[in-house]
Each structure stands twice: as structure tokens, then as C-alpha cells.
Amino acid sequence: MGNFRFHQYQVVGRALPTETEEHPKIYRMKLWATNEVRAKSKFWYFLRKLKKVKKSNGQVLAINEIFERKPTKIKNYGVWLRYQSRTGYHNMYKEYRDTTLNGAVEQMYNEMASRHRVRQHCIQIIKTATIPSKLCKRESTKQFHDSKIKFPLVFKKVRPPFRKLKTTYKASRPNLFK
Amino acid sequence: QGRFRISHHALDRTVREAISNPNDHKTLGALRPLSSAVVESLSLALKMPFKRYVEIGRVAFVTYGKEYGRLVVIVDVIDQNRALVDSPEMVRGQINFKRLSLTDIKIDIPRVPKKKTLIDAMETADVKNKWENSSWGRKLIVQKRRASLNDFDRFKVMLAKIKRGGAIRQELAKLKKADVA
């Protein structure tokens, strides 16, 4: 379906058992990373901030990739994030319309980079959720909640169907209409 | 066109701008998407040159990528650039509008129909025949045929072309003689 840059992983880990604590509490995190190694690293980063445990005295029990349940259904995703700008940390809530959560998260990273010049490592995803259409806040997602949606494609870019046919000069002017 | 007067108070500023500059593609582009009722009234009042709209049920031709050459039906719109698209032979998926070319054919389907409903709707609308009889569809069939000729076929085509040219020139000669006489 999609070649996503960001994969969603479920990482489960706990502190190592000691004599004082035979069965330490197990924690699970769902996070986004480009690969499994990074996912585990991110897991420890967040867990360190929440609990008194580090990678050196902890263990990852399981790491699984989470795939989209219904990749053919269009959903409205709400993403809550915390990002670092040049002047400080800010929280944000963004909405995206996509078929998969990974796609929406990728959109989010691209948008943050373009609109706010925030790079990937400065963004922390706090929460993501599928939002029913009634509860969407942003006009740009709400405008697509129309069952009789209809609009023309105003500007048609003429594109060679495969790269072999791509040339610098063409014999005739392109027809940009329709 | 008194029947299709639009109440300007009902439309917002961007729409009003588009009405006053009907040839400004930039404002028109910023308008999409509009509700279908507004689009209908605009296109009648402005005589908008757009006849093919992105809408649920619109048949489109894929012009780039893995699905090149396939006829698909727009089954839902994801956002400004992408549509959810379906076809009897493929899994429902998203595709960018830049990879699509809209056709004149539109079928009647509810939003995101089941595969079976889609296939039935395509049968009743007779999409396949309409496409193959349209000039666009016919051209594609001819292109495919020409690309799949082998050398013997091309030889036969050459003979046929010579024969056709000969017949045309004979008729032309006859007409010229009749003209002179």
C-alpha cells in the first residue's frame, strides 16, 4: 500500500528484576520510528523521563510493528505533538485526512518541516487518534466532509507516463486544460 | 440567465472573487472543493469551461505509475490532492490527482461502495463499452494494437497502406478528369 518512512511500533519493556523487586512493572509504548532500532532507543528515552529506569538496567520484552487495520477507509486523524522551535517548546494539535495512521504521521512530519522548519528529531508525538467527522476542528479537513463532493481539476500538468519519454524539448505546446 | 441568479450574500468572498474573475485559475483553484449545489450554479452562471469534475463515481484514467493505463472509479476524496480509487481488478487504494486523467464517464455509486456494488454499477452504466466506443478509448486500442505488431504484421500494414493510397489516388484522378471535362 504505502512505502512509509515512519513505522508504528509497540515496544514493551521493564526494569530488570532485582532482589528487592522480583516483578517490576511492565510498560508499553506505541511510538513512531523509521526502524526498530530507533524505536527501542526512543522507548528508553521516553521511559527514562517517566520512570527511574534506563536501558542499562532494563530490558525490552517485545517490539512489534503495528499495521493499519483498514487501509482502504479514509479517516480523519488528530495528532497532538510537542515540538521544539528556535525559541522554546510548544504543543500543537493538527488534523490530517488519510487512509492510514502512518500516512497521517508522515504528513505531519512533512508539514511541520515545511511550515515551521521543525526537523524530525525535534518533534514528539504525544497522542494520535481517529477523529469522527463531527469532532474535527480544522476547516481544511472539514471541507472534505461532503458526501456530494465535486470540484474540477483546474490545472492539468502534462507528464510523461514513464521517465523514458521525458525530454527537455517537445514538439508541441502542452494542453494544460483538463 | 435570470433563473440562475446567485445570492451574493450566501457566498463568501473567495467565491465572489471567482465570479468576478472567471478566467483567474488561481482563485478557482483555491475554491475547490465546493458543495455540489454551489458548483452547479457557478458553472451555469459563469459558463465555467469545466465539464469533468472530480466527484464520486467519476471514471478516470491512470496516466502514471504502476497502474498506468487502467480505468478506475473515484470512490471518495481524501484531500485536495488525493482520491480513493477503485476498480474491479485492483485493491481499493489512494492515488494522487496528478496521476489521473478524468474522463466523461460517470457512474452512480454511493460513497465508498462495496466491490460488488461497484461492479454492478459499472455494468449498468456500461462503462467498458462506453469507453471502447469513445474516441479516447478507440485511440488507445489502436495504439496498443500497433505496439504489439510483429514484423509480418507490419509488412501486411505496409501493403494495406499502399493499396489504400492507390485507391485514393484513383478516385482523385477520376474526380480531376471529371472536373477538367
Task: Provide the percentage of residues in chain B whose pLDDT is more than 90.
Answer: 51
Closest CA to B139 of B48, B69, B74, B57: B69
The region of weakest confidence among A114-118, A133-137, B7-11, B60-64 is B7-11
What is the distance between the alpha carbons of residues B37 and A160, in angstroms, rounded to a whole number? Answer: 35
pLDDT tens profile B60-84: 999 888 888 899 999 999 988 999 9
User: Which residues in chain A touch residue B114, judged by CB atoms under 8 angstroms apart?
Assistant: none
pTM for the full model? 0.76
Banded model confidence at residue B169, pLDDT cuts 50, 70, 90: very high
Backbone region of residue A44 per phi and psi (left: phi > 0; alpha: psi in -120 to 50; beta: other values): alpha
Q: Please tell me the predicted confidence (pLDDT) of residue B59.
A: 94
Q: Please tell me the predicted confidence (pLDDT) of residue A36.
A: 94
Angle formed at CA A147 by CA A100 and CA A93, multiple of 5 degrees:
45
Q: Please tell me the predicted confidence (pLDDT) of residue A109.
A: 95
User: Which residues in chain B touch residue A154, judged by CB atoms under 8 angstroms apart?
Assistant: 25, 28-29, 32, 50
Reply yes or no on whether the pLDDT at B11 is more than 90. Answer: no
Banded model confidence at residue A3, pLDDT cuts 50, 70, 90: confident
Average pLDDT on B161-176 reads: 95
User: Which residues in chain B touch residue A99, judged by CB atoms under 8 angstroms apart?
Assistant: 78, 84, 94
User: Which residues in chain A touch residue B98, judged by CB atoms under 8 angstroms apart?
Assistant: 157, 159
CB B102 within 8 A of CB B57: no
Q: Please tell me the predicted confidence (pLDDT) of residue B8.
A: 46
Q: Please tell me the predicted confidence (pLDDT) of residue A147.
A: 84
The residue of chain A with its CA nearest to that of B104 is A178
pLDDT tens profile A24-72: 999 999 999 999 999 999 999 999 999 999 999 999 999 999 999 999 9
User: Which residues in chain B touch residue A157, judged by CB atoms under 8 angstroms apart?
Assistant: 98
Q: Please tell me the predicted confidence (pLDDT) of residue A146.
A: 86
Residues 107-146 of B with CB under 8 A from A: 111-112
User: Which residues in chain A touch residue B25, judged by CB atoms under 8 angstroms apart?
Assistant: 154-155
Q: Please tell me the predicted confidence (pLDDT) of residue A56.
A: 95
Q: Do B36 and A98 touch (CB under 8 A)?
A: no
Banded model confidence at residue B1, pLDDT cuts 50, 70, 90: very low
Reply yes or no on whether the pLDDT at A127 is more than 60. Answer: yes
HSE at residue A98, side-chain half, CA atoms within 13 A, is 22
Question: What is the rounded average pLDDT for all residues in chain B?
Answer: 81
Close Cβ partners of B74 (under 8 Å, ≥ 6 residues apart): B54, B55, B56, B57, B58, B59, B60, B83, B84, B85, B100
Distance from CA of A25 to the nearest CA of B (A): 42
3-state percent breakdown (helix, strand, coil) of chain B, nearest 5 = 50, 20, 30
Q: Do A144 and B112 touch (CB under 8 A)?
A: no
Q: Please tell me the predicted confidence (pLDDT) of residue B4.
A: 45
Reply yes or no on whether the pLDDT at B142 is more than 90. Answer: yes
Q: Please tell me the predicted confidence (pLDDT) of residue B21.
A: 58
pLDDT tens profile A63-111: 999 999 999 999 999 999 999 999 999 999 999 999 999 999 999 999 9
Pairing label, strands A123-131, A89-98: unpaired
pLDDT tens profile A141-166: 999 998 888 999 888 887 888 888 88
CB B35 within 8 A of CB B75: no
Reply yes or no on whether the pLDDT at B2 is more than 50. Answer: no
Q: What DSSP designation does B34 have?
A: B
The region of weakest confidence among A1-5, A18-22, A139-143 is A1-5
What is the distance between the alpha carbons of residues A104 and A112, in angstroms, rounded to a whole number? Answer: 12
The residue of chain B with its CA nearest to that of A96 is B79
User: From the CB of residue A54, how many other CB atoms can be counted at a distance below 10 Å?
Assistant: 11
The ipTM of this complex is 0.80
What is the distance between the alpha carbons of residues B43 and B49, in angstroms, rounded to a whole number? Answer: 8
- The phi, psi pair for A28, rounded to 5°, reads -125, 140
- The phi, psi pair for B100, rounded to 5°, reads -115, 150
Interface test with B, best of A95, A151, A158 (most B CBs within 10 A): A151
Angle between helices B13-20 and B36-45 (to 10 degrees): 20
Q: Please tell me the predicted confidence (pLDDT) of residue B7.
A: 46
Q: Does B52 touch chain A (CB under 8 A)?
A: yes
CB B48 within 8 A of CB B22: yes
